[in-house]
Structure formats: C-alpha cells, structure tokens
Amino acid sequence: MSIQWFPGHMHKAQKEIAEAIPQIDVIIEVLDARIPFSSENPMISELRGEKPVIKVLNKRDLADPEMTQLWIEHLEKEQNVKAMAITTSQPQEVQKILELCRKMAPNREEVGKNIRTMIMGIPNVGKSTIINSLAGRTIAITGNQPAVTRRQQRINLQNGVVLSDTPGILWPKVENPHSGFRLAATGAVKDTAMEYDEVAFYTVEYLAQAYPDRLKERYQIEELPESDVELMEEIGRRRGALRSGGRVDLHKASEILLHELRSGTLGQITLERPEMITEELVQVEIDTARKLEEKIKKKEERRKRYLRNKR
C-alpha cells in the first residue's frame, strides 16, 4: 500500500522546521507505541543532525508491553537518542519528558537559560494532548482526526523549558508498503485515503500470526480460518455484519475490526517488531533497485525505437 500525502501546509512545515532546528537544544519526537518504526518520520533524522532526540512512545496502554520494551532498546542504539513509553491518561508520565530534556541539555540549565525544545510527530499520534499536559492548560487543539495542528507556535512552559510545536507532518511517500498499511490501521491517515477492506485484510492476517488467541477470544472462534478473507467473513458472521440473504458485509466487518484495534478492545497489540523491519527494508531496497533497472531498460528501449524510426 503506497501512501502519498504531502499537502501544502506540510511542505511549508518541513521548511520551517529545517530553519528552526539550529536554535533547538532537544528534539522530542512523538511516536505511536503500536508502530514505532512506521510512525517515525525519516525527514526528522535528516533534519536533526546530531541534536539529542527523545523518542516518546505514546499510547503505550494500547501496545504490547514486551514489544514496547524491545523497541525502546532498539531505538536507543542510535546515538544521542533516549526513548520512553507513556500514556497521556497518566499526566505524571508525560511530565517525565521534561526531566529527560534537562538530562539531555544540562549546559543550558547550568547557565540559567531556557532549554529550547521542539516537539514533532506524524498526525494523530497524540502530540497536542502531550503539549496541553506539559503546559497544564489547553494550548494545542486536539482531535482524533489527522492533521489538526496547522502552524508552528512557541510555548513557554514556565519551568525552564520552551517548547516549539510543529504541525503533524507526514513524509512525501511511504516507501515501505507495510508501513502504509500500519499507518492506516492505527488511524494515522484519514480513512478516506485508504481502502478499508484492504487494510483490514492486511491487519487480520498479521493478528492471526502474532495474536491468534486475541482473535479467538474476542470473536469466539475456535479455529482461525487459513485465509484473511475467510477470517474476515467469520468475524463478520460472529458480529452480525450481514447483508440480505445472509452474505457477510466485508466493509462493515472491516470497520468493526479496525475500530476494535484502535480502541484497544482487542487488547494491547503492537503491529511491528524490530526484526520484521530489518527484513522489510531489505525487500524495499531490492524492489527499488528492480524498479530503477526497469526504468533504465524502458528508457533504453525508447531510445532504440527513436533511432530506428529516424533512419
């Protein structure tokens, strides 16, 4: 699944971020704990240089705790990166972000200057809720629709930390097709930008492998069918998503599955593991090289046709 979503305000935001980063001491990147890799913005790695980064895995209450710990260890292998897992329903966890900022920029506090931070994250990752919690008042607009924040703003948290907020930005194109599906499954992209059924089939296939007992328990299925379509049909039957004549309404069944995943009704689930990503990125490189080879081949064929016609 290829997602391309780069509206004008996101392009502008990227430019503004690049201009502001030299004046920033610590970058705070908010990730979705269920998809730590897919919710990372590769542009941030390019823009930050060697700036210290705190990777905040938000929505930890919806993610698999064991997987979250694995991801924290994996992310901290990168230089100048610290990772932590939080849920915004626990304000004391959110406040720990500021403690970590102080540890990562001790020089500023020593000379009595504010620590200048910038908070980033893809749409719908909970960034605005975190800002409001840190500020102790409503500053950022919150909503469960992607791309609510539109402009950059600076917030003095009155405790030695100044926070620059940025619009939620996605990158021009999600190269890893698996990431596209995971972003859609967790609601990071608008539902209108995807085929619900396609995303649900992808998701249920992963869940059947990684969390089969959750599916069996939730939908009262003794033995999971082999194929994703059969499994979605069974879920639809169990949940009464039927059309006239008793046929399963797959779109309705897909809505049920994705809603129950997003709300945590299916339990604490993580949709990707560090070792999976390594394999997927190798495949992306192979596919990219193949596409480039095909492009060069077509170009050469066009050149030969042109020379033949010229004779």
Asked whether residue 309 is marked as a ligand-binding residue, the answer is: no
- Rounded distance, CA 36 to CA 272, Å? 8
**Cβ(176)–Cβ(280) under 8 Å?**
yes
Asked whether residue 58 is marked as a ligand-binding residue, the answer is: yes
Pairing state between β 53-58 and 26-32: parallel
Q: Given pLDDT bands bounded at 50, 70 and 90, which one contains residue 218?
A: very high
Residue 49 pLDDT exceeds 90: no
Range list of H helices, the chain: 8-20, 42-48, 65-75, 91-104, 106-110, 127-135, 177-186, 196-210, 212-219, 228-238, 250-263, 274-310
Given its phi and psi angles, is residue 191 left (phi above 0), alpha (psi -120 to 50 degrees) or beta? alpha
Give the per-residue pLDDT at 146.
42
Q: What value does the mean pLDDT take over residues 281-292?
A: 71
What the block records as the tokens of 152 is: 């950059």
Task: Report which of residues 221 and 106 the model is more confident about.
Answer: 221
Asked whether residue 125 is marked as a ligand-binding residue, the answer is: yes
Asked whether residue 190 is marked as a ligand-binding residue, the answer is: no
Q: Given pLDDT bands bounded at 50, 70 and 90, which one contains residue 293?
A: confident
The total of other beta-carbon atoms located within 10 Å of residue 233's CB is 18
What the block records as the tokens of 15 is: 């430019």
pLDDT for 104-154, tens place per residue?
998 886 677 899 999 988 878 999 899 999 988 887 655 544 444 445 578
pLDDT for 222-253, tens place per residue?
999 999 999 999 999 999 999 988 899 999 99
Give the per-residue pLDDT at 145.
45
Task: Report which of residues 138 and 29 the model is more confident about.
Answer: 29
Q: 0.75 cut: is pTM over it?
A: yes
Q: Given pLDDT bands bounded at 50, 70 and 90, which one contains residue 13?
A: low
Asked whether residue 61 is marked as a ligand-binding residue, the answer is: yes
From 217, 204, 216, 310, select the one nearest 255 (Cα to Cα): 204
Give the per-residue pLDDT at 62.
97
Asked whether residue 132 is marked as a ligand-binding residue, the answer is: no
Asked whether residue 203 is marked as a ligand-binding residue, the answer is: no
What contacts 279, CB < 8 A, 6 or more positions away? none
Interior CA angle at 24 toward 134 and 143, to 5°?
Answer: 40
Q: Given pLDDT bands bounded at 50, 70 and 90, which one contains residue 191?
A: low
- Local structure of 32: helix, strand or coil: strand
From 125, 140, 151, select the one nearest 30 (Cα to Cα): 125
Q: Given pLDDT bands bounded at 50, 70 and 90, which one contains residue 171?
A: low
